């Protein structure tokens, strides 16, 4: 289950859009070695919470800690440099670039080397090693030269995770990685994620309840911007508040 010191921590995050509260004093943490799943019905505020943690939005109140450091004031790019590896709900890759180039981009960000004008990106040993290792982990080593726009949906998901891996992140932040995958694809990705938690803990937003209950070490349930329960899968499954507020109407 991992040790008790949280690597990622959200403390009392609140955000309103006009009069509508999208997050209400959300507190949650992510500990080494675990997969912490965040579930909730549509419109519960999962996307807002992800954006608050990733740095796309600044909270009205509360703070975000990453590895013990307060990153609330940092932007998206700076949080990524601090070790926040993110995948997007809708695959977000560089369409015209090859698989290897996409992974190399991550390595560039991690090594802080985007301002090199004359060396060749794909011939740099350190970059290449990082990129290739990450692609091997997600099973894309055969597809280095393929344009990412030409990948299948599942392969794009894998590449998303591969790019996040190149950052050698302290934590992963994954927004519905299973969305749109075939059963076979989902099974494959579940295996990858299950291993990945040993590299860095994962905050997982996911709709597929089979995946969530199969993978998660802990689950938090978000309803109307509020966390109504946090705990191991069994406890969540048994929680009457969750059952009434959420599971009853969920379509897995």
Partner 1 sequence: MSLNRETTASLIVMAALLSTVLWAEATGEPFTITLATRAAIFALAGIGLNLALGMGGMVSLGHAVFFGIGGYAMGILASHAQTFTPLTTWPILIEGTNAMPVIWLVAVISSALAALAIGALTLRTSGVYFIMITLAFGQMFYYFMTGWPAYGGEDGLSIYVRNGFPGLNTLDPIQFFAICFAFLACALWLYIRVDASPFGLTLSAARQNEARLRAVGIDPFRIRLVAFTLSGAVTGLAGALFADLNRFVSPAMFSWQTSGEIVIFVILGGVGRPIGPVVGAGLYVLLEHTLGDVSDYWQIVLGAILLAIVLFARGGLTGLVLGRPLPHG
Kindly state whether residue 124 participates in binding partner 1, applying the rule CB under 8 A. Answer: yes
- Mark 162-191 with x for binding to partner 1 (rule: CB under 8 A) and - for no binding: -xx-xx------------------------
Kindly state whether residue 220 participates in binding partner 1, applying the rule CB under 8 A. Answer: no
For partner 1, the binding residue among 1, 69, 77, 136 (CB under 8 A) is 77
Kindly state whether residue 196 participates in binding partner 1, applying the rule CB under 8 A. Answer: no
For partner 1, the binding residue among 48, 72, 101, 155 (CB under 8 A) is 101
Q: Smaller CB distance to partner 1: residue 77 or 241?
A: 77
* DSSP string covering the chain: ---SSEEEEEEEEEEEETTEEEEEEEEEEEETT-EEEEE--TTSSHHHHHHHHHTSS--SEEEEEETTEE-TT--HHHHHHTTEEEE-SS----TTSBHHHHHHHHHHHHHT-TT--SS-GGG-HHHHHHHHHHHHHTT-GGGTTSBGGGS-HHHHHHHHHHHHHHT--SEEEEE-TTTT--HHHHHHHHHHHHHHTTTS-EEEE-S-HHHHHHH-SEEEEEETTEEEEEE-HHHHHH-HHHHHHTGGG---
Locate tokens 């579940």: which residue?
190
Specify the stretch interacting with partner 1 by CB under 8 A; choose among 5-13, 61-69, 74-82, 194-202: 74-82
Specify the stretch interacting with partner 1 by CB under 8 A; choose among 4-12, 62-70, 115-123, 182-190: 115-123
Kindly state whether residue 155 participates in binding partner 1, applying the rule CB under 8 A. Answer: no
Contacting partner 1 within 133-152 (CB under 8 A): 145, 147
For partner 1, the binding residue among 69, 73, 94, 235 (CB under 8 A) is 94
Q: How far is the CB of 108 from partner 1 (least distance, A)?
A: 5
- Of the CA atoms within 13 Å of residue 56, those in its CB half-sphere come to 8
Q: Smaller CB distance to partner 1: residue 145 or 251?
A: 145
Q: What are the residues binding partner 1 (CB under 8 A)?
A: 54, 75-78, 80-81, 86, 88, 92-98, 100-101, 104-106, 108-110, 112-122, 124, 127, 145, 147, 163-164, 166-167
């Amino acid at each position: 289950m991992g040790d008790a010191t949280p690597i990622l921590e959200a403390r009392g995050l609140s955000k309103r859009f006009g009069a509508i509260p999208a997050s209400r004093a959300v507190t949650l943490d992510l500990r080494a070695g675990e997969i912490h799943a965040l579930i909730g019905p549509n419109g519960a505020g999962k996307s807002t919470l992800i954006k608050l943690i990733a740095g796309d939005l600044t909270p009205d109140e509360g703070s975000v800690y990453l590895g013990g450091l307060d990153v609330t004031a940092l932007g998206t790019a700076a949080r990524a440099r601090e070790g926040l590896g993110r995948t997007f709900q809708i695959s977000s890759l560089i369409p015209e670039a090859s698989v290897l180039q996409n992974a190399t981009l991550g390595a560039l960000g991690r090594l802080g080397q985007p301002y090199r004008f004359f060396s060749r990106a794909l011939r740099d040993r350190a970059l290449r090693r990082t990129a290739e290792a990450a692609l091997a982990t997600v099973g894309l080593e055969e597809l280095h030269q393929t344009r990412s726009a030409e990948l299948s949906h599942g392969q794009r998901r894998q590449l998303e995770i591969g790019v996040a891996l190149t950052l050698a992140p302290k934590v992963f932040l994954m927004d519905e990685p299973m969305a749109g995958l075939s059963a076979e694809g989902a099974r494959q990705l579940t295996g990858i994620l299950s291993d990945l938690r040993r590299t860095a803990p994962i905050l997982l937003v996911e709709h597929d309840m089979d995946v969530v209950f199969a993978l998660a070490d802990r689950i938090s349930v978000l309803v109307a911007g509020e966390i109504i329960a946090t705990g191991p899968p069994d406890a969540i499954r048994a929680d009457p508040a969750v059952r009434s507020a959420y599971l009853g109407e969920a379509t897995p």
